[in-house]
A and B are shown apart, each in its own frame.
Chain A
């Protein structure tokens, strides 16, 4: 099937839930779906034998705080799906609101979603429902904040290049940016 045919079929089945869909200049199929119909669409994409989207390539989140402050939804989640048997490729976008961004898990469809979904929670603070093991993945337990949010500071430190060890340790003690105190 061509991308255009898949796009038309999905549009016909999910109607208003598909907020936007297009085949880009590079020939890639992109679909933006409302979050309440998202799981239905994903299950359909996986289980329809004509599409055969059985391979999840990656999941990522985007925070549009700086780029477009007036955007209706602050967050976006991107799913990249391939077919292992056919030459199909689809990119699914889901918009999430700033308050309580919640998205259902696709772990039962693609087990490869295990880590990327935990990363969504860890790095962006999205709540992934029905994930079998929802906790922080990369940052330590008890870390405050979600680093990939645009309003999370990069936390640049002043580095002391000095041969005087006393001077250096003094400078470090006054640093309040250091989140975890390794001396403890």
Chain B
């Protein structure tokens, strides 16, 4: 169990205590008003807040493989501007990144390296399979290419296209943000850091 989890648990316990203590005081308020306070402020879990913060600060690893890497670079540039979604800080070291965009075909020789880079990333971490090749092998169904990077690492979002345009990749990033927010505070999010 990570430090963050302990903190989340501690705060949740604290909130529950608060809720019990404040119950009487809240019930004295007007009926419609008390409900709003009870639902929105006190029951908001810290996990949600953490998830919200995580989704807006995705740091992708600089992990260019093939053609798709060029479109990934285009996404970071001024025209597409991934900074609008907080995903523009490409980190050269996987140890500083929490998002791996597998941009291109993964060969049999690269697969162990990719797995290792994934293992080096700190938790929680997410993976986007960018393009047809990393999603399912694409047009290269042969001895050299791993037929989908999901055989090596767990994938959160698949972006189709050969190569997908930067707008498609941005849509993938937005979908991932939605997923992070949806999972936030839940058991799945907890497993990610376990």
Query: Complex: how many Å from CA A161 to CA B135?
Result: 10
Contact A180 to B136, CB < 8 A, known contacts A147-B144, A155-B143, A172-B151: no
CB-defined interface of A156-178 with B at 8 Å, one 1/0 digit per residue? 11010100000010001000001
Q: Which of B140-157 contact A (CB under 8 A)?
A: 141-144, 146-148, 150-152
Distance, CA A161 to CA B137, complexed state (A): 12
Is the C-beta of B109 less than 8 angstroms from some C-beta in chain A?
A: yes
Bound complex: CA A155 to CA B109 (Å): 16
Alpha-carbon distance between A123 and B147 when the two chains are bound, in angstroms? 21
Q: Which residue of B lies closest to A182 (CB)?
A: B111
> Chain B residues in contact with chain A, CB under 8 A?
108-109, 111-112, 115, 136-137, 141-144, 146-148, 150-152
Does A153 make an interface contact (CB < 8 A)? yes
Given contacts A157-B137, A159-B148, A161-B136, contact A180 B142 (CB under 8 A): no
Which residues of A sit under 8 angstroms from B147, Cβ to Cβ? 157, 159
Question: In the assembled complex, which residues on chain A have CB atoms less than 8 Å from the CB atom of B112?
Answer: 180, 182
Give Cα distance in the complex from A172 to B136, angstroms. 13
At the interface, yes or no: A139 with Cβ under 8 Å from chain B?
yes
Q: Which residue of B lies closest to A139 (CB)?
A: B109
Question: What count of chain A residues pass the 8 Å CB interface test?
Answer: 19
| A147-B144, A159-B141 as given contacts; A140 in contact with B151, CB under 8 Å | no
A179 within 8 A of B: yes
Chain B residue with minimal CB distance to A154? B142
Chain A residues positioned under 8 Å from B144 (CB to CB): 147
User: Do the beta carbons of B141 and A157 come within 8 Å of each other?
Assistant: yes
Query: Assuming A159-B147, A179-B108, what are 5 further A-B pairs, CB within 8 angstroms?
Result: A139-B109, A152-B143, A159-B137, A180-B112, A183-B151
A156 to chain B, nearest CB (A): 5
Q: For B108, list chain A residues within 8 Å (CB).
A: 140, 179-180, 182
**Are A179 and B151 in contact, CB atoms less than 8 angstroms apart?**
no
Q: What are 12 pairs between A and B in contact, CB < 8 Å?
A: A140-B108, A147-B143, A147-B144, A155-B142, A155-B143, A159-B141, A159-B148, A172-B151, A178-B151, A182-B112, A182-B115, A182-B152
Nearest residue (CB) in B for A156 is B141
Which of B112, B136, B143, B150 has the most CB atoms of chain A within a 10 A radius of its CB?
Answer: B143
Complex Cα–Cα for A138 and B110 (A): 11
Considering the chains assembled together, what is the distance between the CA atoms of A147 and B144 in angstroms?
9
Residues of A within 8 A of B151 (CB): 172, 178, 182-183
Using Cβ atoms and an 8 Å threshold, which residues of chain A touch B109?
A: 138-140
